[in-house]
Structure 1
Amino acid sequence: MKIKNPVLRGFNPDPSILRVGDMYYIANSTFEWFPGVRLHSSKDLVHWKMLPSILDSKELIDMTGDPSSGGVWAPDLSYADGKFWLVFSDVKTVNGPFKDCINYLTTANNIEGPWSKPIKLDATGFDASLFHDTDGKKYLVQQTWDQREYKNTFNGITLTEFDPLSQRLLPQTRKVIYRGTDVKVLEGPHVYKINGYYYLFAAQGGTGWSHQEIVARSKSLVLGTFITEPDGPFITNFDTPDFELQKQGHGSLVNTLDGEWYYASLCSRPWHHKNESAWDPRGWCTLGRETSIQKVEWDSDGWPRVVGGHGGLISVPGPHADKKYLTSKPNNSRHDEFLSSKLDNDWQTLRQPFTKKLGYIKNKKLVLKGNQSLSSLFDVSLLASRWQAFNFDATTKIKYEPYSYQQMAGLVNFYNDKHYSWVFITYNEVTKHRVIEVAQNNNNIYTSFLKDNAVEIPNEIKEVWLKTCIRKDYYYYMYSFDGKDWNRISIDLDAAILSDDYVMQTSGGFFTGAMVGLASVDCTGFELPAEFDYFDYKELDENLL
C-alpha cells in the first residue's frame, strides 16, 4: 500500500506521531479553535480515523481572549509507564516582542480519556515535548524565547528534568543543549534514543517557504555536545519550488513493529493566480498547514535520510498494512442534519466549548444564539470545520427573523478575526424587510458588497438556502428560496485572503487555515437565535469543473 500525501488534509499542522502496539496516533495543533488538539488513529499510516479531540472542556483548556493563532500550539503525545502523556502550549501573546505562553502536562490511561487536569510546567517557550529516557528520567525539551531586541528571539533548545513524583520541573537542571545553525528560528524539538545516540529533531527557518527540519545527535543528553547532521537539512522544500508539497519541516519520528521508520511533518500545498510566478510569490495556502508522512532510512553513519531526497515524495511506500482497517473516506465530504445533541468531531468553535451560551441542538435543528461579531476574541457563535479541498460546495438552510441591521446570521468562510467573509440574512430598517447581504473583512477593512441592492426576502419565505462555492483561487455565494432554483450573487472573492501567506504579510499569527461554517451575530445584545436545518460539505473533482 502507498501513503498518499498529505495524509491529513486541511488545517492539521505540527504533527506529533506515536505508535502504541499496532496503533498509530497523530496529534495536531488547533490554536484558538475548540476543542484543543485534533487526534487521529491508524493501523497502517495510510487510512486515518478521526478521534475525539483531547482538550474538550474548559477545565482542560481555557482560551478566553486568546489572540487568533494563539491558543494550543504543538502538542506532544508520548506513551510511557502504561499511560499517555500530552504536553501542550497555551499561547496568550502572538505579536510583539513577548511570547506569553504556558506549558501544560495532562495524562490518560486511554487515548480517548478521561484526561487529567493539566499541570502547569513553565513558560520558558513554546513547542515543548516530553522525553522519557531509558533510565526512567524524564525531560522537557522546548524552544526558548528571548524577548531582548538585540538577540534572536529563538534562543536555542532548552532541556529541563521533570520529576514525576512531585509533578514539577527541576529548574536547577535547566540548560541549553543546542542552538541550531545560521538558518535560525529553532523550534519544535523532539528527542529520540536510537542505537546509543540521542537524536534531536528540530525545525528551523520559520514556518514559511524556507521551513526545514534538522537533526543533531549526541552520545549524552545532559553532558554531551549535539552535532548537526552533515549534508542536511533532513527535510525541506526551500529548494524544490515546483514540488506539490511545500513547507515540510516541523514534525516527529515513529518506527513500525517491523522496524521501519517514518516521519510525520507539516506541509502546505500552494496555488497561484494565473498572472503570478510559481516561484515568487510561491503561492497561497488556503488549506493551511497539513500533515504529510515520509519514509526514513538510516545511512551508513547512522544519520536519518528521507527516502526520495530531502524534498520528500507524494506517494510513499507504506508499511505492512491491515487492509481490514479502511476507516477513511475517498474524500472528506460530509452531511450533518444535527440528529444528535452532541456535535460530531469535525465541528469546532472559537476559544470556548459549544454550550447553551452559544447555542444548542433541538428537534434536529442547530440553534445559534446571536452573540458578538466575528471579529471578537470572546463570545462568538460560529460553528466551523476545515476547508479540506481546493474545490467544494457548502450549503445550509436557515430560518431567521431579524428586526435590526445589527442582527446577522448565515454561512461563513473564516480565517481569523481580521480575515473572513459571509453571506447572511439581516434587516433593512428603511424597507422594513429581511435582506441577504455579502460582506468581507480584509485585514479589518469591512466591505458590504450589496448595500442598497441587498436581496430582499419575500415576507412569505420563512426559510432561506445559502451556499458557498470554493473554486481554488476564488469563491462566491448563492441563495435559494426553495432549495432547487439557485441564484448566484455576482461577487467573486479572492481566496488568497483566507490563506496563511496573505495573513502573514500583516500579522505574526498565520498558523491555521480557512474554515467554513455557520454563524449568528446580534450586536444589540438581545441574543436573537438563528435556526439551521442542516450543513452539507461536498468536495468536487477539479477535472470535472
Structure 2
Amino acid sequence: MSNIKNPVLRGFNPDPSILRVGEDYYIATSTFEWFPGVQIHHSKDLVNWRLLTHALTRRSQLDMLGNPDSGGVWAPCLSYSDGVFYLIFTDVKSHMGPFRDTHNYLVTATNIEGPWSDPIYLNSSGFDPSLFHDEDGKKWLVNMLRDYRKGRNPFAGIVMQEYSVEEKRLTGPIYNIFKGTKLGLTEAPHIYKHDGTYYLIVAEGGTRFEHAVTVARSESLFDPFEADPAGPMLTAADNPQLQLQRAGHASLVQTQTGEWYIAYLCGRPLRPSMYCTLGRETALQQVEWTSDGWLRLAGGGHHPQVDVEAPNLPQHPFSSEPVTVHFDEDKLSIHMNTLREPLSEKWASLKSRPGFLRLTGRESLNSLHGQSMVARRQQAFDVEVETLLEFEPESYQHMAGIVYYYNTKNYYYLYVSHDEELGKCLNVIATDHGIYNDVLSRPVSIEGHPQVYLGMRISDEKLQFLYSFDGMRWMTIGGVLDASKISDEHVESPLNGVKMDAGFTGAFVGLCVQDLSGRKKYADFDYFTYRELERTDESE
C-alpha cells in the first residue's frame, strides 16, 4: 500500500474543505485576491491530486477590485446534497484593525466543473462560513462571530442559523454554539454528525505557529458544544522541529471503504529563518473514532506527519503538467492567475498576436485595481522561471518583465524600460513593506535588442534574476536577493515596531506590464516556463 506524501497540495493552497462524492474526492482552497476564485483539486485515491477547476470565474460572482492584499476569498466550504454542489465563501473587503468587512455568499452547481451560479448573499457577521446538511433535510450556516469592541474577545464564538433553500436566505434565530477554548482565535467551523452525535471541528490559536485543530461535540445542535478534554486533536505548536508546522483549519471525510481522514493547512518553514516561502499548504492525515466517541489522529498523538498511510483504494495517478506554456491555445493554463479581476481581452490577449501573450500596460504593481499581471503559484523550494519578451518602451513610465510577487507592498521585479541616457534598458526593483528601492546602481542598456530573455532562479531563500539575448548564454543581474521576504512571516514582521500588514497568501512568479502614462503600451511574451528542480535528501 502506498503512502500519502504531505503536503498533497503544495504552495499557497490553504483552508482546505474536503468532500467525497461517490469515488471522487475534491478539495476547495482559499484564493484571496487572486482570480479565478476557489481552487478545486480532484483525486481518486487521496494520494494523487490535480487542479480540476475553479468555482468563481466571472465578475458577476466575485468583484474584488479595490480589495486589500490578503482580502478576497477566504475559507471556502464545499458540500453536496441531493445532487447539488454547494460552495460557501467569504469575500473580505477589509481585515486590518478592529473592523472586518466580511461578506458571506453561496454558489451552487450540479457539476463540480460548473457552471456555478451567481452568488446568494448570506450574512456579514464574521468569516469562515460553512454549510451543514442535517439528516432531517435542514441546512445550517455556521461562521465565526466578529466583535470589534475593545476589551471583548474579537473571536466571539461560532454562530449558527438555518438556511432556507426555497427562500435563498438565512432565516430564524441565531445560536452561539461554541465559545472556544483557552487557545482562542476560534474560527473555521465545520459540523458533522456521527453515530447520532454532532461534532464541531474548529481552528484555534491563529493561523501561524500556534495553530491547532479542536474538536467539540453535542447531542443537539442547539446545546453548547463540549470541547475534547484531551486538548487539540492536531497541532505542531509544541514541537518546532517538525517539518510540517502551522497545522490547523481542518475538515473531515470518510472514504467509501470506511476510513476517515482530515484535510488541514500547514506550512513548511525554511531553517533557521522559520519563514514559509511557499505559504500555507494542504495536508492529509488519517483519523479514527475512539471508544468514548472522540475523533483523534490514527496511531495517537497530535502531530502532523509527512508520510501518512493511504486508504485502501486503487492508485489513480494523473499525467504531469507541461513545464512550458507557449501561448498557442485559446486560453491560459489553469495554473495561471490574475489579480482581483478576470482575464480580459482588453488587457491580456492571446488573439492579437497568435503564439504570444500580449499584455497591455495599466496601473503599477502597487495598485489594488487594474494590474496587468499573469502569474502562477510557486510550489517548490527550487524553481526556474523563464520567458522571452518583445517590448519597445518609449518612456520610463513603460515597464514590462517578470516578477516575484507576494503583494502590492512586497515584490521583486526585473523589467525592461526606457532611460533618457541609456535608451532601452533593464532594471530591478525591490519593494519591502511598501518601501521602494532600485537594486542596481545603474540600469543595464539593451538598446538595439528587439528581444530579451528574462529568467529567475529561486532556491530556498535565494533569488537570482538573469537575462540573455539568445536563450543560451545567461547573465546574472542584481545579485542574490532575499527570497524569504516573499512570505507571510516577513510581510507580517513589524516595521519600526509597528505591524503594517497581514499576509495569508504565498509567492507567485509571473509576467506583468505597466504603462503609467496611460497610453496603453503593450508587450508580447512568447512563452512562460516554470520548472521545479530536483532536491537531494540533504536539502529537504
Shorter-chain TM-score above 0.5: yes
Q: Deviations over 1:398-423 (max 9, x none)?
A: 00000101111000000000000111
Distance 1:507 1:16, change over 3 A: farther
Alignment partner of 1:335 is 2:350:
no
Residue 543 of structure 1, CA deviation: 2.5
Give the whole-Å Cα distance in 2 for the aligned partners of 1:312 and 1:63: 34
Pick the aligned partner of 1:517 from 493, 510, 515: 510
Residue 135 of structure 1, CA deviation: 0.5
Query: Partner of 2:224 in structure 1?
Result: 225
- Kept in 1, the 8 Å contact 2:439–2:478? The answer is no
Q: Deviations over 1:302-340 (max 9, x none)?
A: 1111124211211111112222x21154xx772100111
Give the whole-Å Cα distance in 1 for the aligned partners of 2:532 and 2:180: 41
Deviates more, 1:129-138 or 1:296-305: 296-305
Pick the aligned partner of 2:474 from 479, 486, 495: 486
TM-score, normalised with respect to structure 2: 0.96
Alignment partner of 1:197 is 2:197:
yes
- Kept in 2, the 8 Å contact 1:398–1:533? The answer is yes
Q: Deviations over 1:30-57 (max 9, x none)?
A: 0000000001110100001211211001
Residue 507 of structure 1, CA deviation: 3.9
Pick the aligned partner of 1:471 from 453, 459, 462: 459
Give the whole-Å Cα distance in 2 for the aligned partners of 1:405 and 1:247: 43
Give the whole-Å Cα distance in 2 for the aligned partners of 1:195 and 1:358: 55
Query: Partner of 1:529 in structure 2?
Result: 522
- Kept in 2, the 8 Å contact 1:47–1:328? The answer is no
Give the whole-Å Cα distance in 2 for the aligned partners of 1:383 and 1:507: 26
Give the whole-Å Cα distance in 2 for the aligned partners of 1:528 and 1:266: 41
Residue 374 of structure 1, CA deviation: 0.7
Query: Partner of 1:15 in structure 2?
Result: 16
Alignment partner of 1:115 is 2:116:
yes
Query: Partner of 1:258 in structure 2?
Result: 257
Q: Secondary structure at the match of 2:91?
A: strand
Q: Secondary structure at the match of 1:496?
A: helix
Which residue identity lines up with residue 228 of structure 2 in the other structure?
E
Residue 508 of structure 1, CA deviation: 4.4
- Kept in 1, the 8 Å contact 2:456–2:466? The answer is yes
Which residue identity lines up with residue 263 of structure 1 in the other structure?
I
Pick the aligned partner of 2:408 from 414, 417, 426: 417
Query: Partner of 2:95 in structure 1?
Result: 94
Alignment partner of 1:284 is 2:275:
yes
Give the whole-Å Cα distance in 2 for the aligned partners of 1:468 and 1:40: 28
Pick the aligned partner of 2:307 from 315, 324, 346: 315
Give the whole-Å Cα distance in 2 for the aligned partners of 1:474 and 1:49: 28
Query: Partner of 2:390 in structure 1?
Result: 399
- Kept in 1, the 8 Å contact 2:359–2:522? The answer is yes
Query: Partner of 1:38 in structure 2?
Result: 39
Give the whole-Å Cα distance in 2 for the aligned partners of 1:2 and 1:208: 27
Which residue identity lines up with residue 455 of structure 1 in the other structure?
V
- Kept in 1, the 8 Å contact 2:203–2:214? The answer is yes
Query: Partner of 2:131 in structure 1?
Result: 130
Give the whole-Å Cα distance in 2 for the aligned partners of 1:234 and 1:356: 48
Q: Secondary structure at the match of 2:247?
A: coil
Displaced runs of 4 or more, over 6 A: none
Residue 356 of structure 1, CA deviation: 2.0
TM-score, normalised with respect to structure 1: 0.95
Give the whole-Å Cα distance in 2 for the aligned partners of 1:328 and 1:293: 21
- Kept in 2, the 8 Å contact 1:199–1:216? The answer is yes
Pick the aligned partner of 1:296 from 277, 282, 287: 287
Distance 1:101 1:357, change over 3 A: farther
Which residue identity lines up with residue 531 of structure 2 in the other structure?
K
- Kept in 1, the 8 Å contact 2:201–2:216? The answer is yes
- Kept in 1, the 8 Å contact 2:209–2:246? The answer is yes
Which residue identity lines up with residue 493 of structure 1 in the other structure?
L
Residue 272 of structure 1, CA deviation: 2.5
CA RMSD of aligned residues (A): 1.3
Which residue identity lines up with residue 503 of structure 2 in the other structure?
F
Give the whole-Å Cα distance in 2 for the aligned partners of 1:328 and 1:6: 19
Give the whole-Å Cα distance in 2 for the aligned partners of 1:389 and 1:307: 28
Query: Partner of 1:210 in structure 2?
Result: 210
Alignment partner of 1:352 is 2:341:
yes
Residue 354 of structure 1, CA deviation: 0.6
Q: Secondary structure at the match of 1:233?
A: coil
Pick the aligned partner of 2:435 from 405, 420, 445: 445
Structure 2: runs of 5 or more not aligned: 494-498
Query: Partner of 2:496 in structure 1?
Result: none
Residue 225 of structure 1, CA deviation: 2.4
Give the whole-Å Cα distance in 1 for the aligned partners of 2:58 and 2:176: 34
- Kept in 1, the 8 Å contact 2:42–2:50? The answer is yes
Structure 1: runs of 5 or more not aligned: 277-282
Residue 182 of structure 1, CA deviation: 1.2
Give the whole-Å Cα distance in 2 for the aligned partners of 1:239 and 1:134: 38
Structure showing the higher strand proportion among its residues: 2
- Kept in 1, the 8 Å contact 2:433–2:500? The answer is no
- Kept in 1, the 8 Å contact 2:463–2:481? The answer is yes
- Kept in 2, the 8 Å contact 1:439–1:449? The answer is yes
Give the whole-Å Cα distance in 1 for the aligned partners of 2:343 and 2:161: 37
Give the whole-Å Cα distance in 2 for the aligned partners of 1:314 and 1:264: 13
Query: Partner of 1:495 in structure 2?
Result: 483
- Kept in 2, the 8 Å contact 1:30–1:36? The answer is yes
Query: Partner of 1:456 in structure 2?
Result: 445
- Kept in 2, the 8 Å contact 1:267–1:289? The answer is yes
Q: Secondary structure at the match of 2:60?
A: coil
Give the whole-Å Cα distance in 1 for the aligned partners of 2:368 and 2:238: 38
Query: Partner of 2:145 in structure 1?
Result: 144
Query: Partner of 2:54 in structure 1?
Result: 53
Which residue identity lines up with residue 534 of structure 1 in the other structure?
Y
Give the whole-Å Cα distance in 2 for the aligned partners of 1:481 and 1:500: 35
- Kept in 2, the 8 Å contact 1:365–1:532? The answer is yes
Pick the aligned partner of 2:424 from 420, 434, 448: 434
Which residue identity lines up with residue 447 of structure 1 in the other structure?
N
Q: Secondary structure at the match of 1:492?
A: strand
Give the whole-Å Cα distance in 2 for the aligned partners of 1:144 and 1:58: 27
Query: Partner of 1:280 in structure 2?
Result: none
Q: Deviations over 1:505-531 (max 9, x none)?
A: 234421000000000011011110010
Q: Percent identity?
A: 47
Q: Secondary structure at the match of 1:502?
A: helix
Q: Deviations over 1:456-507 (max 9, x none)?
A: 1131x21100000001011110000111111011421111110111112234
